[in-house]
Structure 1
Amino acid sequence: MRALQCLLLLFSIHFTQSLKFLAYNPLVGMSHASYINKIAEILYDAGHEITMVSPPMSGRTKMTYPRNWTVISIPMAKEDIATAARDGESASHIYWKYKSVFDFMKIIESVTNAGVKQCDVTLNHPGLLDSLRAEKFNGAFAEPFDFCGFGLIYLVGIKSYAMTMTVPASDNTLRITGLPPMTAFVPGMTSTFGEKMTLMQRIINTVVVAMSGEFMAAQWKKYQSTFDKVDPQFPLMEEIINNSSLYLVNSDVISDFPRITTHKIVEAGGITLGLSNGTLDEYWDSILSLRPFTVLLSFGTVAKASVMPDEYKKSIREAFKRFPDVTFIWKYEDPSHGISKGIPNIIESTFVPQKELFNDARLTAFITHGGAGSMVEFLHAGVPVIVVPLAGEQSRVGPLIERLGTGVKVLRKDLDNPDVLTDAIHNIVYDTKYKSAAVLISGRLKDQPFSAKERVLKNMVFMAKHGPLHFLNHHGMEMSLFSMYAIDVYLILLISIIILISLFLFIIYTGIRALLRIVKKRMEKRNIKKEK
């Protein structure tokens, strides 16, 4: 009887502590979907209920849900089916032809246009809004890659919600939280500079950050008319986004550029790391034992190596051929190209067990485009890298890796020069300082006082229980840059100092003139006496 009472007590405690969360997870890309999925897993495994709304925005992204939570699948907008396939293929080519931030904006704008169409389908899905309102959620979270999630959260009536970011704290995240621009010492998301910038680089960084901020603001405004159709009293999107209680960013203070922060920003870098036991099957185990050194080359899922310019392929093959004691594993999507033909130390594969390879000490280095997901993995695994930034936020990774000392940067335009890649490979393979730095950073990440999982769980639960967390908003969010930077104060002080200095100089000037007059009169008197 007592055992039954204890069981009922435990059940009642679990029941009363269980919270209900709504997750908006648009299937726009595997890294984005996996990040939202992982936050949901953390909450679900802690005993909380998850309802996930997953509208498709890319026909290529297929997500499996390892936990038994409620998933509401939304049909894809008819106009987006052909567009998604075309844009997905176009994005792969844009990465290899990327010239400036404007090319990246084209990708974002394309995704936004598709998102607006899909949002109309999602919000008008039969019974969706009524069924979600009936759940009485305690909290919610969504990513601003698709702003429809925040409109949905508002229409359902959820007051406590978090903004999640698959990338590190971006310029727009800092802007939304009311943090002042830090363009003098923090590189923007698409910047190619490090933290130590020249005057001209600071000017460029400031201009690009301002442009990207205005561009993203223009993107979320495109959703406004869709929400106004559902609720004519719908507030401005900017107001809803600014009212987010927390901002979960995919970065870590140990492995990012230092910056000013607020209590609303939660560092969640590393939550997507899988629990791999580090073991490889017989085939991959034998590959790692072929030569003294092994290097993995992968440019992710979007920037396909198979569509890179032919001159890049020839250059990479030539560079690899110069290292007979190194096995190069090349993730390559089209076997019919025969990319490894005639070069015995190249092992090509359409799929590589990346996490398992990272956890094997025989992997010497990693050649990557610097995607956010891969970066988290190789930093935690302690693997030295050669970063070849292709587009967007990847541009920032090169200077960051050089700052950490865990690798070297090769510009994409230099991929057609085998000598540049040869020098980079020689340094990363034979110079042990990169491995030492990578192991040091890995140790720091693993030995942090609080894990990313703990930070996410505790902050999200606190938000759901005690939110909305508007008390974390500092007054600076309501101030203009002129006032927030105390420019008005400094101007008044400067004017006051100028007035005081002017007054002081005037007094000295007047005193000297009076003194000169006295001296002159005395001199005149002496001259008169002498004449007499």
Structure 2
Amino acid sequence: MAVVKALAEKGHNVTVVTLYKPKTYHENITNVLIAPTDQLQAKFDAAMAELSSSVKSNFIQNMARLLNANRAAIDMQFGAFVDRRFTALYESNDNKFDVAILGYVFNDFQVAVGAKFKCPIIMTWVQQSMNFVDHFVGNPHEISYVPTMMNPLATGEVWNFKKRLQNFFLTTTSRIFSFALDYSMKGYYNKLVEMDSSLPPFEDMKRNVSLLFCNSYYSEGPIRPLAPATVLIGGIQVKDKPDALPKNIADFLDASHQNGAILFSLGTNVKESYVKAEAFQIIYKVLSPLKQNVIWKWGDLANTPGNASNILYQKWLPQGDILAHPNLRLFITHAGKGGMVEALYHGVPMVTIPMFADQPTNSKKIVSEGYGVEVDKLEITESILRNAISEVLTNPSYANKVKTFSRLYRDRPLSAKESVVYWTEYVIRHRGAAHIQSPLVKMNYIQSANLDVYLLILGTLFGVFKLLLLVAGYLWKRFRAAKRSKSKKE
């Protein structure tokens, strides 16, 4: 929605199709709300609850849970895709769209939008570019120094053999995950083909992506090769100037000038019902005696973990505006990329409690760079959480490091919003900008990995080797025959 707002403020008319009521409004934005059915929403909630559970599980179980949650999310999206409120947009002769901007979360089937609306496609992705999205624009993925979502890389770090080996196996695993997703997405796409036989093949449509917006920036790392069609817009959701806070929140933060304030939020996707009540009781017992004021994002205001004079519960929070407040000293977060970026931009150190998906990797990045401390959701106790909060609040190195990075993160030739507007208009002006598409997009794995070339070279070398053996064998026989002939003459 930050991308949408940047374009709307520039004067573009933007139609947004969404499953949930957005919190971003502008006179140039038209929202088409297609809420999921109660059945699909319940299925998604159950999958998210399983992902957020405090049950210890191995890597394979975590991946299976992620796939289950993704399947539930895709069912919701596919339902919206075939809904009359959506199909009416491309069936109407009065509508003309210059470009389609698609939020990518393992939902490749939506590339059909390009054919439906007869326009180029821009993908948006919530992380740095990685193998899940590299193929859309042809970014080479060098395993020796380009990490996967599950393997963070500290700025300037050169991996030793053990870490390179680990990244090889993690990358291989994520590619298997991608193949499984691709097979699933092709099934969804084929359902669309059954409804409209004029749709191009799935593989052709995946090559129709003109641009990839990634919510990262060079200063975050990793430093890696990127095709020109990859545009880094890290911090796009951060406002140029924070909005005025609601009065109760503003008064609460302004009154925290002496000891400072703490913001605690587990994001929008983690509901209180997903987490055991005991965990929130532990958190409450740690936060309530603090001398700092605490703003706590909590959905059910009628049933809070407890009442304390230093805690303000809020159902919804203007998170970025709160993080920009000068009295905020600490952000307790699940390490979602959006909140992480806002905290880094405003120079706020963190205590992380990662839940699922990219959050454990984001958290490890925060820890490795010295921006905060991690608390394992499966091992959280009063003493562990209390010590983590005390460490970040009393050790100035965390605040100093994150403020140093904040200055670095802001230093760029174009702001994230300016980059979004420029490159979107660039794609529109040049009708998809096919001239910046990498040849890698149109190559299969054998071609891109040069396997056919290596096979030819190996075959040639083998042929030469065999020929040399034959020649050597022939010469050896001639030599022995000559030697025997000479012996007989003697």
Partner residue in 1 for 2:480 = none
**CA shift digits 1:36-64 (9 cap, x unpaired):** xx3233223323333x152x53xxx2125
Distance in 1 (alpha carbons) for counterparts of 2:287 and 2:86? 54
Select the residue among 146, 167, 172 that pairs with 1:186.
Answer: 146
Query: Deviation at 1:284?
Result: 4.1
The structure-2 alpha-carbon separation of the partners of 1:317 and 1:46, relative to structure 1 and needing over 3 Å to count, comes to: closer
The structure-2 alpha-carbon separation of the partners of 1:108 and 1:151, relative to structure 1 and needing over 3 Å to count, comes to: same
Query: Deviation at 1:445?
Result: 2.2
Indicate the SS of the match to 2:313.
strand
Distance in 1 (alpha carbons) for counterparts of 2:117 and 2:341? 34
Partner residue in 2 for 1:530 = none
Cα RMSD for the two superposed structures: 3.4
Matches within 5 A, 1:308-323: 308-320=275-287
Amino acid at match of 2:411: D
The structure-2 alpha-carbon separation of the partners of 1:238 and 1:326, relative to structure 1 and needing over 3 Å to count, comes to: same
The structure-2 alpha-carbon separation of the partners of 1:139 and 1:172, relative to structure 1 and needing over 3 Å to count, comes to: same
Amino acid at match of 1:359: A
Matched, 1:410 2:375: yes
The structure-2 alpha-carbon separation of the partners of 1:199 and 1:450, relative to structure 1 and needing over 3 Å to count, comes to: closer
Partner residue in 2 for 1:105 = 67
Partner residue in 1 for 2:112 = 151
Matched, 1:380 2:363: no
Given that 1:250 and 1:268 are in contact with CA atoms closer than 8 Å, whether structure 2 keeps it comes out as yes
Given that 1:140 and 1:153 are in contact with CA atoms closer than 8 Å, whether structure 2 keeps it comes out as yes
Amino acid at match of 1:331: K
Partner residue in 1 for 2:100 = 140
Distance in 2 (alpha carbons) for counterparts of 1:479 and 1:62? 40
Given that 2:299 and 2:315 are in contact with CA atoms closer than 8 Å, whether structure 1 keeps it comes out as yes
Select the residue among 229, 232, 247 that pairs with 1:281.
Answer: 247
Distance in 1 (alpha carbons) for counterparts of 2:83 and 2:246? 43
Amino acid at match of 1:471: H
Matches within 5 A, 1:321-340: 324-340=290-306
Amino acid at match of 2:255: S
Given that 1:170 and 1:188 are in contact with CA atoms closer than 8 Å, whether structure 2 keeps it comes out as yes
Given that 1:141 and 1:164 are in contact with CA atoms closer than 8 Å, whether structure 2 keeps it comes out as yes
Matched, 1:444 2:408: yes
Partner residue in 1 for 2:271 = 304
**CA shift digits 1:435-456 (9 cap, x unpaired):** 1111112112222111111111
The structure-2 alpha-carbon separation of the partners of 1:362 and 1:71, relative to structure 1 and needing over 3 Å to count, comes to: closer
Select the residue among 408, 415, 427 that pairs with 1:463.
Answer: 427
Distance in 2 (alpha carbons) for counterparts of 1:480 and 1:92? 38
Out of 238-247 and 183-192, give the one that drifted further.
Answer: 183-192
Distance in 2 (alpha carbons) for counterparts of 1:296 and 1:224? 42
Query: Deviation at 1:280?
Result: 6.0
Indicate the SS of the match to 1:397.
helix
Distance in 2 (alpha carbons) for counterparts of 1:465 and 1:423? 55
Distance in 2 (alpha carbons) for counterparts of 1:456 and 1:486? 35
The structure-2 alpha-carbon separation of the partners of 1:424 and 1:48, relative to structure 1 and needing over 3 Å to count, comes to: same
Distance in 1 (alpha carbons) for counterparts of 2:426 and 2:145? 33
Given that 1:320 and 1:328 are in contact with CA atoms closer than 8 Å, whether structure 2 keeps it comes out as yes
Amino acid at match of 1:332: W
Partner residue in 2 for 1:49 = 13
Gaps of 5+ in 2: 476-490
Partner residue in 1 for 2:358 = 393
Indicate the SS of the match to 1:162.
strand
Partner residue in 2 for 1:120 = 82
Partner residue in 1 for 2:26 = 67
The structure-2 alpha-carbon separation of the partners of 1:128 and 1:278, relative to structure 1 and needing over 3 Å to count, comes to: closer
Indicate the SS of the match to 2:218.
coil
Given that 1:178 and 1:477 are in contact with CA atoms closer than 8 Å, whether structure 2 keeps it comes out as yes
Identity %, equivalent residues: 21
Partner residue in 1 for 2:187 = 222
Partner residue in 1 for 2:479 = none
Given that 2:207 and 2:441 are in contact with CA atoms closer than 8 Å, whether structure 1 keeps it comes out as no
Distance in 2 (alpha carbons) for counterparts of 1:297 and 1:123? 37
The structure-2 alpha-carbon separation of the partners of 1:187 and 1:288, relative to structure 1 and needing over 3 Å to count, comes to: farther
Given that 1:340 and 1:348 are in contact with CA atoms closer than 8 Å, whether structure 2 keeps it comes out as no
Given that 2:144 and 2:167 are in contact with CA atoms closer than 8 Å, whether structure 1 keeps it comes out as yes
Amino acid at match of 1:129: Y
Distance in 2 (alpha carbons) for counterparts of 1:306 and 1:225? 36
Amino acid at match of 2:356: A
Select the residue among 31, 34, 39 that pairs with 1:82.
Answer: 39
Query: Deviation at 1:89?
Result: 5.6
Distance in 1 (alpha carbons) for counterparts of 2:252 and 2:194? 60
Given that 2:5 and 2:24 are in contact with CA atoms closer than 8 Å, whether structure 1 keeps it comes out as no
| TM-score, normalisation: structure 2 | 0.81
Query: Deviation at 1:300?
Result: 1.0
Gaps of 5+ in 1: 1-33, 511-532
Distance in 2 (alpha carbons) for counterparts of 1:350 and 1:203? 42
Select the residue among 272, 292, 306 that pairs with 2:237.
Answer: 272
Query: Deviation at 1:488?
Result: 6.2
Distance in 2 (alpha carbons) for counterparts of 1:362 and 1:123? 45
Query: Deviation at 1:112?
Result: 1.3
Given that 1:256 and 1:400 are in contact with CA atoms closer than 8 Å, whether structure 2 keeps it comes out as no
Select the residue among 227, 234, 238 that pairs with 1:262.
Answer: 227
Out of 452-461 and 94-103, give the one that drifted further.
Answer: 94-103
Matches within 5 A, 1:203-218: 203-218=168-183
Indicate the SS of the match to 1:259.
coil
